[in-house]
C-alpha cells in the first residue's frame, strides 16, 4: 500500500486501487505521484503480466482534487499541477504491459482522463461518465479533448465537453468508450479474466502491439505501416517468435519467456 493507492498482486495480474473513498477518489498530487511510481515498479516485475486499475463500487474517480486546484494561484502553479496528471497518464500509456480499467460508479473528468489512457475499459452497468470542466469555467487539461476525440470521434467528444452532462454505461458502450459491460459485482473479475488471457500470449508481442497502436494514432498511415514493419522485423529475431511457431507446429502450448 502507498498512501491512498492499494496494490494487490493476484498473479498474473496486479490490482491497483484508487483508495480515497471519503474524497470520491479525487486525484491528489500525492496520489498521482504514487500512480506514476508504482506503475513503473510493476512494469519491471516479471511476474506481473498485466494491471487492473480500479476504484470502488460507488466511484472510479471524480477527477482532480478541487481543494488542491483552488490552491493553484499562478500559471506556473497550474502547469505544475497539470504535469502531475500528464505524467501519471503517460505512464499508463507507456507501460509495456496491458492495463485494464475496471470502472464502477462515477468516472469523471480527471478520472475519465485516467481511464482513457488504459488499454481496455470494462464498466459496471451503473457506471456514469462525464467531463465537468465547463461547469466550473475550465477545460479538461490532461487529455480528455484529444483522447476522447480519437476514441469516440469529435462529435461525441464535443458533446461531452460542451454539455458537462453524464452519459450512462449503455451509452458509453454504444459509442465505444468502453468495450464491455458487466454487473457491478463482477467488473473486477471480468478485468482479471482479460489479464489472464493476455498472460497466455507472448509478452513482447503485446508490448509491441500496444506501441504500434498508440504511436500509430499519432502518425500518418504510411508512417504507421512502416513502423509496424520495423516492429515485426524485430520480433522475428526473438526466442518467443521461434517458440510460438514451434509450439503451433507441434500442437502444444507455448512457453514464452519475454525475450
In a domain, 259, yes or no: no
**Do 78 and 174 share a structural domain?**
yes
How far is Cα 124 from Cα 57, in angstroms, rounded to an integer?
9
Predicted structure pTM score? 0.92
**Do 61 and 124 share a structural domain?**
yes
**Do 143 and 231 share a structural domain?**
no
**What confidence score (pLDDT) does residue 209 get?**
95
Domain count of the fold of the chain: 2
233: domain CATH number is 1.10.12.10
In a domain, 219, yes or no: yes
9: domain CATH number is 3.90.226.10
**Do 119 and 147 share a structural domain?**
yes
**Do 104 and 63 share a structural domain?**
yes
| Strand 120-124 to 167-168 pairing | unpaired
3-state secondary structure the chain: CECCEEEEEECCEEEEEECCHHHCCCECHHHHHHHHHHHHHHHCCCCCCEEEEECCCCEEECCECHHHHHCCCCHHHHHHHHHHHHHHHHHHHHCCCCEEEEECCEEECHHHHHHHCCCEEEEECCCEEECCHHHCCCCCCCCHHHHHHHHHCHHHHHHHHHHCCCEEHHHHHHCCCCCEEECHHHHHHHHHHHHHHHCCCCHHHHHHHHHHHHHHCCCCHHHHHHHHHHHHHHHCCCHHHHHHHHHHHCCCCCCCCCC
- The total of other beta-carbon atoms located within 10 Å of residue 17's CB is 18
**What confidence score (pLDDT) does residue 171 get?**
98
pLDDT in tens, the chain (259 residues): 457 899 999 999 999 999 999 999 999 999 999 999 999 999 999 999 999 999 999 999 999 988 887 888 789 988 888 899 999 999 999 999 999 999 999 999 999 999 999 999 999 999 999 999 999 898 898 899 999 999 999 999 999 999 999 999 999 999 999 999 999 999 999 999 999 999 999 999 999 999 999 999 999 999 999 999 999 999 999 989 998 889 899 998 888 888 8
Among the candidates 173, 198, 223, a domain finishes at 198
128, 166 in Cβ contact below 8 A?
A: yes
**Do 244 and 127 share a structural domain?**
no
Residue among 40, 22, 19, 21 nearest 30 (CA): 19
Among the candidates 161, 182, 198, a domain finishes at 198
In a domain, 257, yes or no: no
Domain span at residue 239 reads: 203-249
**Do 187 and 75 share a structural domain?**
yes
**Do 154 and 36 share a structural domain?**
yes
In a domain, 258, yes or no: no
124, 105 in Cβ contact below 8 A?
A: yes
**Do 136 and 32 share a structural domain?**
yes
**What confidence score (pLDDT) does residue 1 get?**
43
**What confidence score (pLDDT) does residue 121 get?**
99
How far is Cα 187 from Cα 129, in angstroms, rounded to an integer?
16
Amino acid at each position: 500500500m502507498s498512501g491512498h493507492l492499494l496494490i494487490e498482486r493476484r498473479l498474473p495480474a496486479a490490482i491497483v486501487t484508487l483508495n480515497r473513498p471519503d474524497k470520491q477518489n479525487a486525484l491528489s498530487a500525492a496520489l498521482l505521484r504514487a500512480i506514476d511510481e508504482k506503475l513503473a515498479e510493476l512494469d519491471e516485475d516479471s511476474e506481473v503480466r498485466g494491471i487492473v486499475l480500479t476504484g470502488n463500487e460507488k466511484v472510479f474517480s471524480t477527477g482532480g482534487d478541487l481543494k488542491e486546484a483552488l490552491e493553484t494561484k499562478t500559471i506556473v502553479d497550474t502547469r505544475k499541477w497539470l504535469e502531475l496528471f500528464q505524467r501519471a497518464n503517460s505512464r499508463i500509456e507507456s507501460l509495456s504491459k496491458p492495463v485494464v480499467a475496471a470502472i464502477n460508479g462515477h468516472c469523471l473528468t480527471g478520472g475519465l482522463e485516467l481511464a482513457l489512457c488504459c488499454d481496455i475499459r470494462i464498466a459496471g452497468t451503473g457506471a456514469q461518465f462525464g467531463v465537468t470542466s465547463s461547469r466550473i469555467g475550465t477545460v479538461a487539461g490532461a487529455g480528455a479533448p484529444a483522447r476522447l476525440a480519437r476514441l469516440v470521434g469529435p462529435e461525441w467528444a464535443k458533446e461531452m465537453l460542451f454539455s458537462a452532462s453524464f452519459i450512462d454505461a449503455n451509452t458509453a458502450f454504444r459509442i465505444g468508450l468502453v468495450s464491455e459491460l458487466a454487473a457491478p459485482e463482477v467488473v473486477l473479475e471480468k478485468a482479471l479474466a482479460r489479464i489472464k488471457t493476455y498472460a497466455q500470449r507472448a509478452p513482447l508481442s503485446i508490448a509491441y502491439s500496444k506501441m504500434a497502436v498508440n504511436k500509430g494514432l499519432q502518425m500518418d498511415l504510411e508512417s504507421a505501416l512502416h513502423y509496424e514493419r520495423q516492429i515485426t522485423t524485430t520480433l522475428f529475431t526473438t526466442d518467443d517468435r521461434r517458440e510460438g511457431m514451434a509450439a503451433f507446429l507441434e500442437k502444444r502450448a507455448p512457453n514464452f519467456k519475454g525475450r
